[in-house]
């Protein structure tokens, strides 16, 4: 169900800080028109950490409605609280999402056994396709391949978004997990090598601003057009780089603002980019003829 290119979408805000439903729907339509294979709301890129529970549920509802079954919706519903994750996952299922993306518990730093029990409990409480999300750079916690392998044997847990950018770790996950377990790259720079060792797609930041190119790269790989896939990888390289000049989602949301697709509104503690990095972002976007 979840394969190919799935943008982790921003959450557009109005200048007063409220959710900009019109821009959210417009962005989703633009991404689908440009060939993406799914939509991922309420992830890191969607500023989920500063959404209230009601806002979180509303963004997922709007996304499901706007997508209208054209592609799958993988809703971010994770938290460092198991009970909170269950609540948000149930809500996503109720409004018609196709699955849930569950970040590993952050800050409280559970053991590998605690991680296993966290995800197992969610799977027991909510019968729903669940995708693990490992991003050690954000959570200060790594889901080890052995733990992923154990979790892959639970029916509801169908895959992982692996954002460690560690190809050795990804290889071990693929080698040890159940056959058919989905491996989605969570790092734009390593999409192509991840696909080459058995990955099934990407949950992407840069696909917000270059959905067609990222989608074409992934499709070219699966069609066996490796030269085309490699060419697109290098064509996107500088654009990928500027998306991480500062903490995600600052650059990608700024880029979309410059493209006229959202307001440049963030919720504290996130704030606008510095002058130097913003200038570099704008220059690269001009090079890509995005401005």
The Cα 7–Cα 195 span in angstroms is: 16
Handedness of CA 30, 36, 41, 45 (dihedral sign): negative
Give yes or no for a cis peptide into 214 (omega within 30° of 0): no
| Choice among 57, 133, 168, 234 that is catalytic | 133
Please indicate whether residue 288 is annotated as part of the active site: no
Burial of 179 (0-12, 13-18, 19+ CB in 10 A): exposed
| Choice among 57, 93, 161, 253 that is catalytic | 161
Handedness of CA 97, 115, 134, 193 (dihedral sign): negative
Please indicate whether residue 161 is annotated as part of the active site: yes
3-state helix, strand and coil shares in percent for the chain, rounded to the nearest 5: 50, 15, 40
CA atoms within 13 A on the CB side of 160: 30
Beta strands in 127-284 (DSSP E): 130-134, 157-162, 182-185, 201-204
Catalytic positions: 133, 161
């Amino acid at each position: 169900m979840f394969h190919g290119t799935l943008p982790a979408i921003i959450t557009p805000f109005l200048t007063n800080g409220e959710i900009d439903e019109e821009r959210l729907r417009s962005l989703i339509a633009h991404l689908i028109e440009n060939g993406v294979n799914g939509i991922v709301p309420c992830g890191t890129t969607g500023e989920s950490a500063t959404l209230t529970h009601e806002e979180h549920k509303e963004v997922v509802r709007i996304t499901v409605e706007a997508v209208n079954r054209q592609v799958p919706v993988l809703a971010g519903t994770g938290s460092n609280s198991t009970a909170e994750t269950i609540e948000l996952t149930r809500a996503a299922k109720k409004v018609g999402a196709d699955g849930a993306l569950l970040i590993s518990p952050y800050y409280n730093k559970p053991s590998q056994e605690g991680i296993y029990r966290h995800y197992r409990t969610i799977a027991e409480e909510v019968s729903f396709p669940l995708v693990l999300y490992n991003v050690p750079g954000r959570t200060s916690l790594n889901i080890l391949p052995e733990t992923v392998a154990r979790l892959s044997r639970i029916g509801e847990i169908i895959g992982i978004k692996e954002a460690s950018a560690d190809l050795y770790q990804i290889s071990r996950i693929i080698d040890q997990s159940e056959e058919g377990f989905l491996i989605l790259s969570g790092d734009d720079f390593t999409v192509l090598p991840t696909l080459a060792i058995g990955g099934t797609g990407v949950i992407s930041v840069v696909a917000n601003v270059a959905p067609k190119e990222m989608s074409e790269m992934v499709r070219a790989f699966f069609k066996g057009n490796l030269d085309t896939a490699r060419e697109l990888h290098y064509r996107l390289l500088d654009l990928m780089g500027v998306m991480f000049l500062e903490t995600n989602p600052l650059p990608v949301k700024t880029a979309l603002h410059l493209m006229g697709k959202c307001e440049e509104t963030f919720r504290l503690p996130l704030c606008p980019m510095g002058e130097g990095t913003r200038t570099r972002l704008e220059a690269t976007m001009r090079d890509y003829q995005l401005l």
